Amino acid sequence: MPQSIPELPRTLGELRRSAFPESSLARRTVKDELRANLIRKIRNREPLFPGVVGYEDSVVPHVVNAVLSRHNFILLGLRGQAKTRLIRQLTTLLDPHVPYISGCEIHDNPYAPICRRCKQLLAETGDATPIAWLTPEERYVEKLATPDVTIADMIGDIDPIKAARRGQDISDELTVHYGLIPRANRGIFAINELPDLAGRIQVGLFNIMQEGDVQIKGYPVRLPLDLLLAFTANPEDYTARGKIVTPLKDRIGSEIRTHYPATLEHGIEITRSEAWIDRQADVDVRVPGYISEVVEQLAFAAREDKRVDKRSGVSQRLPISVMENVVSNAERRAMENGETLAVPRILDIYAALPAITGKIELEYEGELKGGDAVSRELIRLAVGRIFNRYFEGVNMQSVIQFFDIGGSLKLGEDVGSEDVARQLGAIQGLLEKTRALGLGASEPDAVRASAGEFILEGLYAHRRISRSEERGFAAAERKRPAQEPEESPRPKQRRQFN
């Protein structure tokens, strides 16, 4: 139970004499409260949902309209589209403190109680009734829908132990043990993956939403709860016949579609804010911009690839996890080589395959090829696209010529930066090309090694040079023209039959 806050009223009498007028608290619902605070934020031009990126012109306006309309709403979208985060941000629209009758399981309003216990307490103690306070975080309840959820979990059940201790009849309302929804009274109740709820649970849900009553073990309980209900679901499950009870769907005021980042820049911003990159260690980590772009482009490429299941989607968690693995691999290499600066390379993205394969669901064609092979092709495609952003139209002939005349270069992911930079420096004109990435001549070896390798990987992605596990980077394998046979084949002899 939340602790009483000393500077706030502690009894009903003190509450009546405080800055919390009875007229407003008794009549204002949670949806009115959210609406009023949202209007204030809009007028003051305050950020509405901090930390939610890319939805400013699409999803957020619909959520704002739903709150202004006092609607229960549902967010429809594939996995990893910040649906839960957006719903949790609704707590920023709640008042800092809200009073309730101390000890009440369903946080009854002191001016308008709904449970029998609180009504009796008010009748007995009057202005001496103790008051406690709720913070916005305590007014948010979230439940992941699973097939095993019961009515008792959501609504409540008869508690025979409570009845025995109090000497009450089993049919008395005071013997009810309230479920999650009543305990979220005067707050926000969120259900993730709504279609996974069994049909009978959905029926109980819409009944308490609309009529405010429910039957517990055949005993009718009148509970006019004060709630905002918010749901999330996968669009395919939500529209599937039989997954959602029609009356429940009808009672949800707004249906809002979410989406993945629309631009590479939005994706990079999300990944940068969510990935664990700034680490307290002896090695400084510097992530080049082109590495961030390749990691993000990898997710975009996977969402477009026909071998990846579009119904499952590619979560934004993929680039976040990949970036963390990329940084960790660069960090490990720097420590093994006694370096103080860790700069990720493209090879570190290939080393992050475990963070990719577990986050993409493959179609039949992809399954035949294998998760690792598909992931490698997606990395190659992402590198090629980002390479074009920096080097489209740049003459790379001097670099390609190095390999055409027999040169080769094998760069392992554990090779130190100084050694890699020295080997790359032997390729005529290669490191000079890194100026297109915004690098100067005095950059550390780790930075130059990463940039030079990115150029070689870009050329490999466009098949202008080749790369293999045995030889490393080498000349591209070009098809040779078919040679004429030394002598013309003999004409076929006709077989004669007598």
Q: Specify the residue for token string 């098949």.
A: 463
Q: What is the pLDDT of residue 357?
A: 93
The residue extents of the domains of the chain are 30-69+71-96+135-257, 264-475
Q: Residue 316 in contact with residue 82, Cβ under 8 Å?
A: yes
Which segments of the chain have a pLDDT < 50? 1-5, 480-498
The hierarchical CATH code for the domain 30-69+71-96+135-257 is 3.40.50.300
- DSSP tag of 112: B
**Per residue in 397-417, pLDDT tens?**
999 999 999 988 988 888 999
Q: What is the pLDDT of residue 418?
A: 94
Whole-structure pTM value:
0.84
Other CB atoms within 10 Å distance of the CB of residue 186: 21
Other CB atoms within 10 Å distance of the CB of residue 18: 12
Q: What is the pLDDT of residue 38?
A: 97
Q: Residue 287 in contact with residue 341, Cβ under 8 Å?
A: no
**CA–CA separation, 372 vs 307, rounded Å?**
13
Enter the tokens of residue 132: 């406690």
102-105 contacts: CB < 8 A, separation 24 or more? Answer: 102/1, 102/4, 102/129, 102/130, 102/131, 102/132, 103/1, 103/130, 103/132, 105/178, 105/182, 105/183
Quote the strand ranges of 27-105, DSSP E: 73-76, 98-101
Q: What is the pLDDT of residue 204?
A: 78
